Structure 1
Amino acid sequence: MAAAEGREEEMSGNGEPEESPGSAMETSEDSAPPPAEMTEENGGGTVALEPPDGPDNPASFAAPAATEDGDGELPADFERLWKAAHDSPRDFTSWTDLLQYCEQETHITSSRRALGAFLQRYPLCYGYWKKFVDLERRAGNNDRAEEVCIEGLQAIPLSVDLWIHYINLLLGTLDMNLPESPSRIRGVFEDAVVAAGLDFHSDRLWDLYVEWEKEQGNMKNATTVLDRVLKVPTQLYNTHYDKFKQHLNGHEPKEALCPEEYEELRALCRQSQKAERAEQAQEAEEERPPGEEEPATPEGTDTEDLMQKIREQVQLRRDKIYQDNEGEVRKRWHFEEAIKRPYFHVKPLDRLQLRAWHTYLDWELAQLHTDTRDSTQEPTQATPEESEAAARPRKASQEAAVPRDDHRIRILFERCLIACALYEEFWTRYVQYLEVQSVDEVRAAYRRACRIHLPSKPNIHMQWATFEERNGDLTEARRVLEVLEKNVPGLAIVRLRRAALERRAGQLDQSEALLTEAVAESKERPTLHAFFSIKLARLLLKLGRDRSRARRVLQDALEISPENDKLYMNLLELEVSGDPRASAEAVQECVTRALAAPLTSHAKILFSERGLQFAEDYNNSIQSVLSVYEEHQKLLKELGGTKREAENGDEDPEKPSKSEESSAVAESATEATPATPHVPITTPPPPPVMAADVSAQTGYAGYSSWYQQPQYGSYGYQSSWNYNQGYYPPS
């Protein structure tokens, strides 16, 4: 296959040496593309293998027995290399080292085991499927070789190379003297062109199909295949038309054309000949000497002149098809030319390549919408005769164009998902396209993405779980999130999604149990422990209506993280949200505890202000309010009096100074965008779209923008003491 221009030869992800563009295909010099010459690169679609226990099932890594198939003991370094691949199943280099070693040792058992395990994880590497097939064939296991080929084509049905390999395998192993053998080969060819025939680089497959039909002596079938490929925009589209003309001129029209078309054109051409003869006869009659009769012409004979006229009519019809197809090729050429690596590889693609795929998909989807709109749009003004004449072709367009274009878009998506199989964004685009058409197809796409290619990427798994929940399959949604949490342990958002799923399902006890378990398991990580404790306390308070248990959860968390200001803030919110007549003492106790904790000066001032605000609003005696006020003034003096100036001066106390603001951001646990002021802590803002590198976040800090704000003013606790100016004596 062809690699990008200028790259040195290396082993590609498909298990074959990467060639220079010029050696990609022997017939590439015959291509006369509209803009410039391109090289052929074959990819494939993905219908991934789905083992019951998933691709990361440890049982599938069991070391092979010492003796199998009479192959003797395993090579000396096999177990070491096997263990290396087992310990790091997503390390592509470990696998290729193992496969290369097995190939060098020519050991059937070890090669079979290594290839089977590798292709379970990297099924898009068509070159290794070919190696597996050849391994079984060399061992004399033709049936097994065919089974492996079929498995590979189920995994990557767009691989032109693998289809050709399969056809050559059948041609080399089937007895062609049996009447069923040609039918079987033809059936495989049909499956191949249906699966991969719309690929821009499918020319070799079409050529092989045509040549095989000619070898079988089926010239009509060869013409039919050529007619089909003339309508497909491929890289070597012009060579197919040249071959069609050669085929037509090399055989009698009756042998090459289907009976219906032949009879139609024969009648048309004979009618044309009669008209010409009548005109010629009239001219000859005027010039013929008197008494001489017209020479007799045998009726019903097909002269060479008639055959040539039929060929001209056939070519005239195909000219229009060819020109239309050339237009389609021109539209796609620069998109195809921009794609430098259409095959699978674990190496990341550069931004230009990712952008090229996105642009190509955007254009093809826009074409579908345009074609659909044009095919269904009625003309603005038309006479009854025009409407009647246009009705039949427009109806045919409505029935045929949309399914055809839909299939073409699916093929492009599948091609894209070979080169970009490790990128969530392209799977998400494909799912969005399929979602309006088929729930089962969406589910199949999610399975392929999550079980095979992206087992550790959180976004696509959570999208899958949401999809299943939306469609009523809570069991599958639970399973998806459980598998993700197993593959990526410690990712807080996954446990939160599991708890939220159970809560929405009415399983409040299970939701509470999941959060309780998360709190218990995160004690060695104080920040994460505090995060889950806050979530559990909110659940117990807001939905469980169990204030005492919620308080106990937060107090226990403070024993582990006495410096965590968010825990104090949530505990304070819990106390002030209760009956104010019974909460005064608990609120002041919480404030006192926060002031004694190793918190920042800014945080302590905010807690003190909140305690004073509560006292002003709910305390029953002025003495108690003044007592709290005096304690607050003492705190301001101890911490530098930064707030007194704002209270007794003209400066707006609602606006903290820049130094205070920057200090609050620097001292908060994480950096986050400030939320709208006066949003209670119990109602966090909706989560934003997760970034692509969220999987790297395994703790509390990665979710600060969801649940924690850098300034306590965001909780609605900013100072607002200007309304009591003159109410308290200055101090």
Structure 2
Amino acid sequence: MAAGGAEEFSDNGHFTHASEFEAPEVADLTQADLGALEDKGGGRTGMADLSATYGGHPVECEEEEGDFPVDFDRLWKVVSNNPQDFNGWTDLLQYCEQEGHIAASRQALNAFLARYPLCYGYWKKFADLERRAGHNSKAEEVCVKGLKVIPLSVDLWIHYINLLLGTLNMNLPESIQRIRSTFEEALNSAGWDWHSDRMWDLYAEWEKEQGNLNAMTSIYDRAMKVPTQLYSTHYEKLKSHLTSHALHDVLSPEEYTKLQAEYKNIQNQAKKEGSDITAGEEEERPPGEEDTDDSAKTSEEAVQKMQELLLASREVAYQLNECEVRKRWNYEDGIKRPYFHVKPLDRTQLKAWHSYLDWEMAEAQTAQELHEGTPVEGVAGHKRVLILFERCLIACALYEEFWDKYVHYLEPRSLEETRCVYRRACEIHLQYKHSFHFQWSNFEERHGNFSEAQRILESLEQVMPGLAVVRLRRAGLERRVGHLDKAESLLREALEQNKDKPNLHAFFSIKLARFLLKLGKNPSRARAVLQEAIELSPENSKLYLNLLELEVSGDLRVNGGGVQQCVSKALAAPLSPKTKILFSQRGLEFAEDFGTSVQSVLSIYEEHQKLLNELGGKKREAENGDNNDDPEKMSKMDDGSAVAAPVQGVPPMPPMPMTTPPPPVMSGDMSGYGGYSNWYQQQQYGGYAGYPNPWNQYSQYYPPS
């Protein structure tokens, strides 16, 4: 059992649909909800709203008179500002428990369990809190809510059953029936847990207390078909039970009749085989002597023989179950933390879960192939795989890789179950894992559920406001469904929202300009967007590069001077020498390719040469400035071993061109773009990335400066 309320969880149940594990009751409380509880009046504002938010069916309670404890507001503010602070939550809950303030404890527990619903220990604490306060019905309601979230928890099921045993009037027949039905529900949900032995034993002993020995036998017979850690203990208890009571008490009438018939058949066969041998060997008894002792002896032998037949049939089931246990023992032994905790699991534990899941899926596939597509009965099969996944996702709820593995397994089998798993992961456990939300949105879009895909992205943007990639995904989705106006409005809205953030504003300006150019077929609007962005961020070279691309790809008959205007604007901007030389080179090549007169080409060439002379030295100085203090270089210069300077009077060779590709639209420095370099790495604009030939190839056409 883990400290701090994260006790060991049960892991598996016998169920039909993965959607049975969905817990919409705790899926609606986001960081924004928690943050909204805090206002200028203090941390306790919105407590009643939080209770209403939790689950849609809050645990109703009457608020106590008087103020909350002294430090409650301070501790509540900590978790309101940072709902992911698990230690802050435990401090708050511990403080409420120490103070014994039931209203404060209710509010804290409701909010905590909305965010961390897999913490069994706190569901138990909540139920105990209500029971101590005399609210037995509310205690039951808490347990039911917890079991909807964690239907695989053996511990929580046992706690719930003990609560019912302690509060119901067991003299009433309906109470007996309710306990029995609760036990059955518990076994159907969590009876296949590797550590479910306590629940099987508790159910069997309870039926024994009710005098229902036949039901006790049935329970242990069912347990013998489940691979659990203490499977052999169940077998020993079953054998002791069968041999300690009369057979007609421990067996159902049908099985008892069948056992008697089997015994008689064996006896008749034995008599038939030995009739010739025993004929005439019976002793004669004196007149009047009765054979009561022999009859009693025969009866005892019959009971013993029937017990042997009974145990022999159970031995077969035990051997089959033992085989399944042996298959899984090493995998189960490798799992050291089957309960939920926010502390990371080590690589060995993660690997153990992956190996176990892969093996169980392979077993199910093999069993399915052997049965030629018919439903597989027994331990191996689809149900068992679902059970193991649900066990894994208690311990590994915060690991995206296991949710991803689960949905990939489920999608070919059931879209609705896959959808339920996505919802549970994204709305409860992976609220801040944007990549998995994208995956869910893509899933819905692939299957034609566009409105749900839109809702998923909108909800994600509310939880993680300002994340550029989310807004781009929203715009992309609207574009794909044909809502171009909506896509454009989303980009423009992002543009307006980020005017105080130059890098993000430039980023969205580039995206909007490309959208207007490629889809809107409106170069003038795209140009206006980039020019406005340049006015706000004149030092951003990416804006000039995109504007240059727009001009180069445009119709020269409409705007023939656009390219040179863009180059001139870049050369006048506060850009680095390296970038200015790059733009000048591109302007020169464009003039060479599309210039209308040789005079204009020569003029641009002259300007380019001047720029090289002015900025080339500064560029090299900036690039090599860090090496000026290199001791080895300094020593070479001192002893004359360094390369000599050019001889005066000899015209220098024209500087070599920039062969390094220009910076992409999203350069390696992504500090202003949220670090999404992998998402936004663009192809080099304009096709001017690198030229193998030096620029002095034009020396045969143009005289040196």
In which range does the TM-score fall when normalised by the shorter chain?
A: 0.7 to 0.9
Q: Which amino acid aligns with 1:63?
A: M
1:612 maps onto 2:588 in alignment: yes
Q: Which residue of 2 aligns with 1:8?
A: none
Q: Which amino acid aligns with 2:307?
A: R
Residues 291 and 494 of structure 1: CA distance in aligned 2, closer, same or farther (over 3 Å): closer
Q: Which residue of 2 aligns with 1:383?
A: none
Kindly tell me the number of residue pairs found equivalent between the two proteins. Answer: 641
Quote how far apart the aligned CAs of 1:555 are.
Answer: 1.0
* SS of residue paired to 2:341: coil
Quote the Cα distance in structure 1 between the aligned partners of 2:297 and 2:325.
Answer: 42
Q: State whether residues 9 and 120 of structure 2, in contact with CA within 8 Å, keep that contact through their aligned partners in structure 1.
A: no
* SS of residue paired to 2:336: coil
1:705 maps onto 2:705 in alignment: no
* SS of residue paired to 1:620: coil
Q: Which amino acid aligns with 2:407?
A: V
Q: Which amino acid aligns with 1:554?
A: L
Q: Which residue of 1 aligns with 2:634?
A: none
Which residues of 2 match residues 483-522 of structure 1 at below 5 A?
483-522=459-498
Q: Which residue of 1 aligns with 2:47?
A: 63
| 1:461-510 Cα distance to aligned partner (Å, 9 max, x none) | 22222222233333332222122112212211001001111111221111
Q: State whether residues 13 and 346 of structure 1, in contact with CA within 8 Å, keep that contact through their aligned partners in structure 2.
A: no
Quote the Cα distance in structure 2 between the aligned partners of 1:100 and 1:52.
Answer: 24
Residues 47 and 580 of structure 1: CA distance in aligned 2, closer, same or farther (over 3 Å): same
| 1:266-300 Cα distance to aligned partner (Å, 9 max, x none) | 2222111122223343222265689999x999999
Residues 68 and 81 of structure 1: CA distance in aligned 2, closer, same or farther (over 3 Å): farther
Quote how far apart the aligned CAs of 1:250 are.
Answer: 1.4
| 1:293-323 Cα distance to aligned partner (Å, 9 max, x none) | 9x99999998232222222222222222222
Quote the Cα distance in structure 2 between the aligned partners of 1:600 and 1:708.
Answer: 21
Quote the Cα distance in structure 1 between the aligned partners of 2:284 and 2:181.
Answer: 66
Segments of 4+ moved more than 6 angstroms: 289-293, 295-302, 722-727
1:318 maps onto 2:314 in alignment: yes
Q: Which residue of 2 aligns with 1:557?
A: 533
Quote the Cα distance in structure 2 between the aligned partners of 1:414 and 1:586.
Answer: 62
* SS of residue paired to 1:490: coil
Residues 474 and 668 of structure 1: CA distance in aligned 2, closer, same or farther (over 3 Å): closer
Deviates more, 1:553-562 or 1:317-326: 317-326
* SS of residue paired to 1:265: helix
Q: Which residue of 2 aligns with 1:184?
A: 178
| 1:324-361 Cα distance to aligned partner (Å, 9 max, x none) | 22222222222222222111112222222222222221
Quote how far apart the aligned CAs of 1:167 are.
Answer: 0.7
Q: Which residue of 1 aligns with 2:668?
A: 671
Q: State whether residues 552 and 686 of structure 2, in contact with CA within 8 Å, keep that contact through their aligned partners in structure 1.
A: no
1:353 maps onto 2:349 in alignment: yes
| 1:58-77 Cα distance to aligned partner (Å, 9 max, x none) | 46772369x94555443232
* SS of residue paired to 1:584: coil
* SS of residue paired to 2:539: coil
1:573 maps onto 2:549 in alignment: yes
Residues 368 and 267 of structure 1: CA distance in aligned 2, closer, same or farther (over 3 Å): same
1:258 maps onto 2:252 in alignment: yes
Quote how far apart the aligned CAs of 1:720 are.
Answer: 6.0
Residues 79 and 41 of structure 1: CA distance in aligned 2, closer, same or farther (over 3 Å): closer
- The structure 2 residue matched to 1:535, chosen from 511, 534, 554, is 511
Q: Which residue of 2 aligns with 1:54?
A: 29
* SS of residue paired to 1:580: coil
| 1:369-424 Cα distance to aligned partner (Å, 9 max, x none) | 12212221xxxxxxxxxxxxxxxxxx9xx323389622221121111111111122
1:627 maps onto 2:624 in alignment: no
CA RMSD of aligned residues (A): 3.5
Quote how far apart the aligned CAs of 1:206 are.
Answer: 0.9
Quote the Cα distance in structure 2 between the aligned partners of 1:48 and 1:627.
Answer: 73
Q: Which residue of 2 aligns with 1:131?
A: 125
Q: Which amino acid aligns with 1:434?
A: L
| 1:9-64 Cα distance to aligned partner (Å, 9 max, x none) | xx3342x6xxxxxxxxxxxxxxxxxxxxxxx8645785334358534424677236
Q: Which residue of 1 aligns with 2:635?
A: none
Q: Which amino acid aligns with 1:611?
A: G
Residues 582 and 249 of structure 1: CA distance in aligned 2, closer, same or farther (over 3 Å): same
Quote how far apart the aligned CAs of 1:87 are.
Answer: 2.6
Q: Which amino acid aligns with 2:398?
A: L
Deviates more, 1:86-95 or 1:240-249: 86-95
| 1:197-231 Cα distance to aligned partner (Å, 9 max, x none) | 11111111111111112222222222221111111
Residues 720 and 70 of structure 1: CA distance in aligned 2, closer, same or farther (over 3 Å): closer
Quote how far apart the aligned CAs of 1:127 are.
Answer: 0.9
Q: Which amino acid aligns with 1:308?
A: Q
* SS of residue paired to 2:499: coil
Residues 574 and 374 of structure 1: CA distance in aligned 2, closer, same or farther (over 3 Å): same
Q: Which residue of 2 aligns with 1:88?
A: 82
Q: State whether residues 492 and 698 of structure 1, in contact with CA within 8 Å, keep that contact through their aligned partners in structure 2.
A: no
Q: Which residue of 2 aligns with 1:728?
A: 701
Residues 325 and 427 of structure 1: CA distance in aligned 2, closer, same or farther (over 3 Å): same
Q: State whether residues 562 and 598 of structure 1, in contact with CA within 8 Å, keep that contact through their aligned partners in structure 2.
A: yes
Q: Which amino acid aligns with 1:613?
A: E
- The structure 2 residue matched to 1:281, chosen from 271, 275, 280, is 275
* SS of residue paired to 1:346: coil
* SS of residue paired to 2:389: helix
Quote the Cα distance in structure 1 between the aligned partners of 2:167 and 2:356.
Answer: 41
| 1:97-127 Cα distance to aligned partner (Å, 9 max, x none) | 2211221122222222222222122111111
Quote how far apart the aligned CAs of 1:717 are.
Answer: 3.5
Q: Which amino acid aligns with 1:247?
A: H
Q: State whether residues 335 and 360 of structure 1, in contact with CA within 8 Å, keep that contact through their aligned partners in structure 2.
A: yes
Task: Report the TM-score when normalising by structure 1.
Answer: 0.80
- The structure 2 residue matched to 1:272, chosen from 266, 276, 296, is 266
1:241 maps onto 2:238 in alignment: no
Q: Which residue of 1 aligns with 2:646?
A: none
Q: State whether residues 481 and 498 of structure 1, in contact with CA within 8 Å, keep that contact through their aligned partners in structure 2.
A: yes
Q: State whether residues 153 and 163 of structure 1, in contact with CA within 8 Å, keep that contact through their aligned partners in structure 2.
A: yes
Quote how far apart the aligned CAs of 1:624 are.
Answer: 2.7
Quote how far apart the aligned CAs of 1:534 are.
Answer: 0.4
Q: Which amino acid aligns with 1:273?
A: Q
Q: Which residue of 2 aligns with 1:147?
A: 141
Q: Which amino acid aligns with 2:206?
A: W
Structure 2 residues without counterparts, runs of 5 or longer: 14-20, 38-44, 50-60, 621-651
1:544 maps onto 2:520 in alignment: yes
Quote how far apart the aligned CAs of 1:179 are.
Answer: 1.9
Q: State whether residues 612 and 632 of structure 1, in contact with CA within 8 Å, keep that contact through their aligned partners in structure 2.
A: yes
Deviates more, 1:428-437 or 1:136-145: 428-437
Quote the Cα distance in structure 1 between the aligned partners of 2:675 and 2:330.
Answer: 41
| 1:135-172 Cα distance to aligned partner (Å, 9 max, x none) | 11112211111111101111111111110011111111
Quote the Cα distance in structure 1 between the aligned partners of 2:672 and 2:303.
Answer: 80
Quote the Cα distance in structure 2 between the aligned partners of 1:507 and 1:288.
Answer: 102
Q: Which residue of 2 aligns with 1:108?
A: 102
Quote the Cα distance in structure 2 between the aligned partners of 1:518 and 1:539.
Answer: 14
Q: State whether residues 530 and 557 of structure 1, in contact with CA within 8 Å, keep that contact through their aligned partners in structure 2.
A: yes
Residues 336 and 228 of structure 1: CA distance in aligned 2, closer, same or farther (over 3 Å): same
Q: Sequence identity of aligned pairs in percent?
A: 56
Quote the Cα distance in structure 2 between the aligned partners of 1:718 and 1:563.
Answer: 23
Quote the Cα distance in structure 2 between the aligned partners of 1:441 and 1:80.
Answer: 42
Q: State whether residues 13 and 344 of structure 1, in contact with CA within 8 Å, keep that contact through their aligned partners in structure 2.
A: no
Quote the Cα distance in structure 2 between the aligned partners of 1:534 and 1:52.
Answer: 37
Quote the Cα distance in structure 1 between the aligned partners of 2:493 and 2:478.
Answer: 14
Q: State whether residues 615 and 625 of structure 1, in contact with CA within 8 Å, keep that contact through their aligned partners in structure 2.
A: yes
Q: Which amino acid aligns with 2:680?
A: Y
Quote the Cα distance in structure 2 between the aligned partners of 1:174 and 1:256.
Answer: 28
* SS of residue paired to 2:432: coil
